[in-house]
């Protein structure tokens, strides 16, 4: 799941589902409950396998919830797929924007 389209490899967190059979193209909605349950699963997986890639996915998901879903002392229930009337607008990147977000030395090609 951490390598497919359901996971946001840049901002962290899991999208609700994908819109293709291969699970590469996400429906851009994210739910707090889904991510909270996945955090529990990733925690169990990491404690069993001690795999740093699982830990990375876990940390990115926790960071996403705290950074983007926390509202005061509470959490929002979901993040809508539509951004300014366009599905996934906040999740689409130009190559330049992606390179800037990833930082120097991590160019995409």
Per-residue pLDDT of the chain (109 residues; tens, 9 = 90+): 999 999 998 889 999 999 999 989 899 999 999 999 999 999 999 999 999 999 999 999 999 999 999 999 999 999 988 888 888 887 888 889 888 877 765 555 4
Let me know if residue 4 belongs to a domain. no
Q: How many CA atoms lie within 13 A of 44 on its CB side?
A: 5
Alpha-carbon distance of 106 to 94, in angstroms, equals: 15
Which pLDDT value is given to residue 104? Answer: 62
**C-beta separation of 35 from 78 below 8 A:** no
Let me know if residue 70 belongs to a domain. yes
**C-beta separation of 62 from 70 below 8 A:** no
Which pLDDT value is given to residue 22? Answer: 92
- Domain span at residue 84 reads 17-102
Let me know if residue 82 belongs to a domain. yes
Let me know if residue 94 belongs to a domain. yes
The token pair at 77 is 């229930």
Structural domains in the chain (count) = 1
Let me know if residue 60 belongs to a domain. yes
């Amino acid at each position: 799941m951490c390598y497919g389209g359901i996971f946001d490899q840049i901002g962290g967190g899991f999208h609700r589902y994908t819109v293709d059979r291969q699970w590469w193209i996400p429906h851009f909605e994210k739910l707090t409950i889904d991510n909270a349950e996945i955090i529990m699963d990733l925690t169990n997986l990491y404690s069993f396998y001690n795999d740093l890639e699982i830990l990375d996915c876990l940390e990115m998901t926790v960071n996403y919830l705290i950074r983007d879903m926390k509202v005061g002392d509470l959490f929002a229930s979901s993040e809508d797929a539509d951004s300014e009337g366009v599905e996934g607008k906040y999740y689409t990147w130009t190559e330049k924007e992606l390179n800037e977000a990833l930082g120097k030395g991590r160019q995409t090609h």
